[in-house]
Amino acid sequence: MKKDKRLINGIEFEVYSLNTLVIGTGAAGYNAADTLYDLGQKDVAILTEGIRMGTSRNTGSDKQTYYKLTLSGNTPDSVHEMAETLFKGGGTHGDIALVEAALSAKGFYKLASIGVPFPHNRYGEYIGYKTDHDPRERATSAGPLTSRFMTEKLEIQINNKGIRIFDGFIAVAIITKDGAAIGLLAVDAARQESPDMGFTLFNCTNIIFATGGPAGMYLTSVYPPSQTGGSGMAFEAGAEGINLTESQYGIASTKFRWNLSGTYQQVIPRYISTDREGNDEREFLDEYFEDKGRMLDAIFLKGYQWPFDPRKIENFGSSIIDILVYNEMQIKGRRVFMDFMSNPACAVRDGKFDFGMLGSESYNYLKNSNALFGSPIERLAHMNQPAIDLYMNNGIDLSKEYLEIAVCAQHNNGGLRGNIWWESNVRHLFPVGEVNGTFGVYRPGGSALNSTQVGSFRAAQYIAANCKDEPLAQDDFIKAASGTVGKVFERAGRIASNHGKSNIIEKRLAMQARMTKAGAHIRSLQEAENALAESIADLDSFEEKTVAGNRREIAEALRNRDILLTQIVYLRAICEYIRKGGKSRGSYLVSDENGMLPLEKLSEDFRFSLDSGNLLKKACVVSLDATGGGLKFNIDWEDIRPIPTGDNWFENVWNSYRRGEIVK
């Protein structure tokens, strides 16, 4: 890597030149840099807004799951069978599913060998369990913090190799030339008050883009607060998005962000709502259920039916709870809490929970757990004390206070579109990890973490074999970059010179509230179209209306613009899906006036019908053309590619391999 200083429009900028820049220090980014180095490309560096930021480093769940090929026991499994499972989710390309399956064992064994504590038995078998959408027992876990362990162990590899990390740098624009990525513009947060405002250029042959999911779009989110994502700059550079409509949402606590699955629901807490000030407390679920036993069962089932799923609404299914929480918050403007201190009032007879009201599944579970007693917190302490400790360690005492909740965004199945080497349509730009739209409508739990390792390996393997060129000569790079740099520098200057009190947080909250209302788990064409129009208007007036209190906030202001661009492309995809006739599927409900109303007391907006499955064989591809001033969208519905069944005769593959024809 070389460092230089170059003038653009009279301002001197630092310029680093190298073969590959990896953006992001999540599980995907770290593995990409580490693998690339191992494969011989040592001219690599990582850039991150913060080494300890992002989803992998800061998230977890009861038993955070990693999905891979079966590696224990006597039940048969195969690469193709696992690919079938991934493919069956719908909207997923078969060749990508096959790669995810083929390399799952490799990615997993690497993590195990660098010290991620995945449990195995005395004979070395990595025992698995069954996760959602999983016909085998392919799931494993290193505990509640699997992804954190992954980043910690991978970070050690990076440090041992001496790979440079540009820490505290916020990527803001991808520089392109003739349809290929040639570099990056980032802000060094520590130098925003210098004449170059911290803007730093990276002249590189390849970018591995591992910026994670688009968390910054949502107000109610269980992504960690430090994760916002950076997809907007990729869209602006012309990268295509695929399956952007497909995300996962579920009930989570908001003060400390954590999924409320498993035992938290199985102990059947009270669901209450209050007005904004915390007054007028009500057990709001009661009024929608005539049969209170069904209500208690629906709460219980949320435990292992965590993500909102429109197939689980009818007949008082568990996803009705997500709808009622949304209705209370978004439609009625109230706050919603779970209370573990007392039993739901409707279940109390003679001062005790009447467990006879429960259906057999809930009753038997609690009976088998010896938990047919007491209050929710007492049952939780009996069945899963660590679940209480976790909140206590994060400043929330479930035995003394209510837990504020919302239906939150958790994961994006779609994202930037890549090929089987995770290269986007913008050549030399490789989105890996959650930012890549590997999945379609449904996916097995744990496959997101597998994907971080498989995609990053594939991109590194391809780059090491095919993209070894030096970066552009400095003069050529500066010539190609000066347009983008000039534009962004001018934008930053304008924002910095707008007088007044900073409105960056206020603007971000407004954008996020819009997406949570119109582009999360409850959708309608009208709402999505309105939200899209508002977002585009916000983008048009962005520079004029954004006030940064001081220069140190420039990067945050530009981040707002990235979120806005991301939101625009995602909302456009949602509008397209509904206009095409797409109905409720995955983890969202689409309002349909000819559909069924989940409960009579809900407004007509909640009428919905399930998708027929016709669109599962297609994937919607959306991209942005921002070159001509205004915004233009390109939309395409591409056919899903089947799982390849090519020539697997060993001698033939070996010959091709020796001739270097495979990694192409």
Ligand X SMILES: Cc1cc2nc3c(=O)[nH]c(=O)nc-3n(C[C@H](O)[C@H](O)[C@H](O)COP(=O)(O)OP(=O)(O)OC[C@H]3O[C@@H](n4cnc5c(N)ncnc54)[C@H](O)[C@@H]3O)c2cc1C
> Given the rule CB under 6 A, which residues bind ligand X?
23-29, 47-50, 53-56, 59, 61, 64-65, 147, 170-171, 210-213, 222-223, 227, 229-230, 259, 410-411, 433-434, 445-449, 452
- Sign of CA pseudo-dihedral 342, 343, 348, 352: negative
Q: Which of 4, 163, 17 is nearest to 470 (CA)?
A: 17
- Alpha carbons 108 and 96: distance in angstroms, whole number: 18
Nearer CB in complex with ligand X: 275/389: 389
Give least dist CB 140 to ligand X, A. Answer: 10
Give least dist CB 329 to ligand X, A. Answer: 19
CB 207 within 8 A of CB 392: no
- Alpha carbons 273 and 269: distance in angstroms, whole number: 13
Plot region of 90 (φ>0 → left; ψ -120 to 50 → alpha; else → beta) = left
Nearer CB in complex with ligand X: 54/198: 54
Nearer CB in complex with ligand X: 165/321: 165
Nearer CB in complex with ligand X: 56/243: 56
CB 171 within 8 A of CB 186: yes
Nearer CB in complex with ligand X: 405/590: 405
Give least dist CB 647 to ligand X, A. Answer: 32
Nearer CB in complex with ligand X: 196/434: 434
Return the SS3 of 402.
coil
Q: Please give the C-alpha separations between residue 163 and each of 166, 307, 505, 615, in angstroms, as whole numbers.
A: 10, 38, 34, 44
Helix and strand counts by DSSP (H, E) for the chain: 19, 24
Give least dist CB 654 to ligand X, A. Answer: 34
Strand partners, 164: 45
Give least dist CB 154 to ligand X, A. Answer: 10
Nearer CB in complex with ligand X: 140/318: 140
| Neighbour tally for 12: CB within 10 Å | 12
Tokens of 426: 């913008």
Nearer CB in complex with ligand X: 90/455: 455
Return the SS3 of 322.
helix
Give least dist CB 650 to ligand X, A. Answer: 33
Give least dist CB 221 to ligand X, A. Answer: 8
Nearer CB in complex with ligand X: 59/274: 59
Nearer CB in complex with ligand X: 382/552: 552
Nearer CB in complex with ligand X: 53/358: 53
Nearer CB in complex with ligand X: 269/444: 444
Give least dist CB 213 to ligand X, A. Answer: 6
CB 416 within 8 A of CB 232: no
- Alpha carbons 32 and 448: distance in angstroms, whole number: 16
Give least dist CB 25 to ligand X, A. Answer: 4
- Class of residue 110 by CB neighbours under 10 A (exposed 0-12, middle 13-18, buried 19+): buried
Buried b (16+ CB within 10 A) or exposed e, 193-232: eeebbbbbbbbbbbbbbbbbbbbbbbbbbbbbebbbbbbb
Give least dist CB 550 to ligand X, A. Answer: 20
Give least dist CB 636 to ligand X, A. Answer: 25
Return the SS3 of 200.
strand
Helix or strand (DSSP H, E) at 575: helix 554-579
Give least dist CB 100 to ligand X, A. Answer: 12
CB 561 within 8 A of CB 494: no
Strand partners, 139: 67, 129
